[in-house]
Amino acid sequence: MAIAIMLITGIAGAGMYVMKLRADNATLKANQIQLETAITEQNKVLEQQKADFEAIMESNKKLNVLIGTFKKDLDDLDKRFTKKNRDIGKLALERTESIERIVNGGGKNAARCIELASGAEHTEAELKATLKSEINPECPALANPNYVPFQ
């Protein structure tokens, strides 16, 4: 009788253990699926982060180049006033009319630079300008993107 009880108890225990194992297996399978999904999502996030980082680097590079041209434009402007100890006041006294013409031309060019900086479209002549005589000397980098200054 006791052996029969032990046998039944043993079989029942084994059955319960198998059922527990099956339940564990199902849980582990579900976990596996969730982990795989999480890994795929993480990979997507990492790819997006990489793409964002590259876009930020590219944007930074462009803005740094732009700021570099600003400094050069300002230096060029100063040079036009002071090159070879040039005194614009003295020159205006000696050659009033020609300096007036130059100043008005410069003013016109500077106004065009402001228009372009505010988003105006380039004219065909501005885009085609490759010679020094064709460019807007107030802001060549902005006005004449195809002009490569001779170094």
Partner 1 sequence: MYHFNKILALALIVLLTGCSIGGEKKIKIFSVEEPRKKLDYPMPTPLQMEEIKWIIITSENADEVFKKLEEAGIDPVLFGITDKDFQVLARNFAQIRQKLQETNNLLEEYKKYYEDTGNSK
Smallest distance from partner 1 to CB 116, Å: 8
In the complex, minimum distance from the CB of residue 63 to partner 1, in angstroms, rounded to a whole number:
7
If the CB atoms of residues 19 and 88 are measured against partner 1, the closer one turns out to be 88
The least CB distance from residue 115 to partner 1, in Å, is 5
Which CB, 81 or 150, lies closer to partner 1?
81
SS3 for the chain is CHHHHHHHHHHHHHHHHHHHHHHHHHHHHHHHHHHHHHHHHHHHHHHHHHHHHHHHHHHHHHHHHHHHHHHHHHHHHHHHHHHHHCCHHHHHHHCHHHHHHHHHHHHHHHHHHHHHHCCCCCCHHHHHCCCHHHCCCCCHHHHCCCCCCCC
CB of 69 to partner 1, least distance (A): 9
Interface with partner 1 by CB under 8 A: which residues? 48, 51-52, 55-56, 59, 62-63, 66-67, 70, 73-74, 77-78, 81, 87-89, 92-93, 96, 99-100, 103-104, 106-108, 110-121, 138-139, 142
